[in-house]
Structure 1
Amino acid sequence: MYNTIRLIKSDLKRKQQIFLEDGSEISLLRACITDGTSANILYRLAFRCSKSKPLAPIALLLQHLNRVYNGCMIGVKAEFGPGFVIMHPIGVVINSKVIGGKNITLESGVVIGDEKGKSPILNDDIFFGAGAKAFGGINIGNNVKVGANAVVVKDIPSNTTALGIPAKARKIS
C-alpha cells in the first residue's frame, strides 16, 4: 500500500508541475481537487487491489465507481509508472493490457486500446491530446506528443509528435 501512496503523491506532484508549466502555481491541495485527480486515485487504488486475490472484487468496484463518477474506464491491470496524470477524465478508455512508463499525461477522450489481443506500450514523457487514440501492439517512444484526435496504429519513435489519421511522426524541433 505504501508504494500506491507514493505513486499517487508523484501523480499529484506531476500535475502541479504541468500547471506550473502553463503559468499557474497551485498547491498540492488544489491539485487534489482539480478535474481528473479522483480518476487517477481510483485507478491507482483499483490497480493495487487487483494485485491481491482477496481484494480483486474491490478493484472491480473501484473501476465501476471511476466509470460512473468520472466517465472513464481504466482497466484494473493497466500499469503506469509515477507521474501518471489524467487532466480531464471524460471519455478516457484504457485497456487492461496497456503498459506505460513515467510522466504519461492524458486529456479527455483518449482511448488506448487492444487490437487482436495486443495493447500499446508507452515509454516515458508522453502527452496524449484530446481525442487521441492508440491501438494494437505498438510502441510509443520517449518524449512523444500525440496530437488531438490523432490515431496511432504504428510505432512512434522517441522525440517526435504524432499527428493525423493515421498518425505520422514528425520530429520535434
Structure 2
Amino acid sequence: MPNLIVPPVRALFMTPTTRFGAVAAFLTVLTAATAPMADAATGTRALDCTQTTVTRPALKRVATGTMDPTQGNLLSATVARATTGRVDVTTDHPVLDNTFMDGAYLRQHGWNTWLLGPQIGSPSITYYLMLPTTPPATGSAFAGLVFVDFGPQGGANDFAMNCTAG
C-alpha cells in the first residue's frame, strides 16, 4: 500500500515572510466565507446576531443560524457565548411560538417568537429567539432578542441583539 502521507515539501522551503502571506491569505478567505450570505445550493440565508446589552462581557452571547430567504422563517439556530464559544442551545428545528407571553413580542415589536429549546445541560431553562416577521433585506441590520426562561426556578433574562441576514 502506498504511503498516503506526503510531507508538504513546498512548506519546508517557505520563508517566514511567505508563510505569513499564506496565513494572511487563508484568513482573508476564511473571513469572506463566514460573512452572512445566501447559500446558492440550499437557498438559505445566514443569520448572525450579537448581543448589545452586555453587563458582564464573559456572558455576552451570539446567535447564528439559517433563514428561509423568501418568508424569513428560522430554519436553524445556535446561541453561544461570544468569548468562550460555549453553546447554550442549538437546534435544526426551531418552532414558531407566537403564543409565547400571549403574543406580546408579535404585537409590540412585530417579531416572531422562535422556540429554540432547552439549554444544553439544563433542561428546565428554555431559549427563545425573536426576529422580524418580514424577511430583512439582504445585508441590512435589524434588531432581535434572545429570551431565556428559567422555568420552575423562576425568572428570565432577555438580551437585545444586533443582527444581519445574508
- Give TM class, smaller chain: under 0.3
Query: What is the TM-score of this pair, normalised by structure 1?
Result: 0.24
Structure with bigger helix share is 1
Q: Which has the higher contact order (CA 8 A, sep 6+)?
A: 2
Q: Return the index of the structure with the highest Cα Rg.
A: 2
